[in-house]
Amino acid sequence: MKKTPGKWRGCWLALVGSFLLLAGCARTAPVSYYQLSALETARTAMAGSEAEKMVLGIGPVRLAEYLDRPQIVTRVTPNRLQLADSHRWAEPLSENIHRVMGENLSALLGADRILLYPWPSSRTTDYQLLVEVLHFENESDGAARLVALWSVKGQGGGIVLPERRSSFRIPATSQDKEGLVVALNEALGSFCREIAQELRPLLGKL
């Protein structure tokens, strides 16, 4: 039986409506981007000659593979992670952590000559900070958790501060994603303060 023009028109409108509905369902939520920032702290006034002549190299800074992704990671249980597709880092997390550590340690130590790995082969460092980040995520209650292994090498490549494990857990003051990132930022700041405290005695040996 042949369809009348009216029926064809009805079928066409129904088809167009279906496509529009599917297109609406396919729309993704807008993506918000976040970035870690340096500590808002006054620059430490170290002994001028010591701080001025020290060259500190930072890196490599390595991240556990599960953290090396654009999405912000939340640990729901000890064995389950949640990736937030609509909440992402504005730049690779390893680069953001690396740069912020450089800014923080420059301020905390009162040192201007900070090199970020990899630096030119023509440059030499008095000390080199090696970092491996094992955990850097929010837990199910929003608290930020940072666990890292780190050590310091001297000029000749020998270890002057043996590898140690640092662990921080910072409660979040807000449960929205920005509040969770702020807690992560505070955890990184606490980590840098611990490193600076251990590095200060080495300045007198230069």
- pTM, two decimals, is 0.83
> Tens of pLDDT along 148-201?
999 999 998 999 999 999 999 999 999 899 999 999 999 999 999 999 999 999
User: Which fold would CATH assign to domain 32-203?
Assistant: Rossmann fold (3.40.50)
pLDDT at residue number 47: 47
Question: What is the pLDDT at residue 3?
Answer: 52
Q: Average pLDDT of 97-118? A: 95
One DSSP character per residue, the chain reads: -PPPHHHHHHHHHHHHHHHHHHHHHHPPPPPEEE-------PPP---HHHHHH--EEEEEEEE-GGG-SSEEEEEEETTEEEEEEEEEESS-HHHHHHHHHHHHHHHHHT---EEESS--TT---SEEEEEEEEEEEEETTS-EEEEEEEEEE-TTS-EEEEEEEEEEEE--S--SHHHHHHHHHHHHHHHHHHHHHHHHHHHTT-
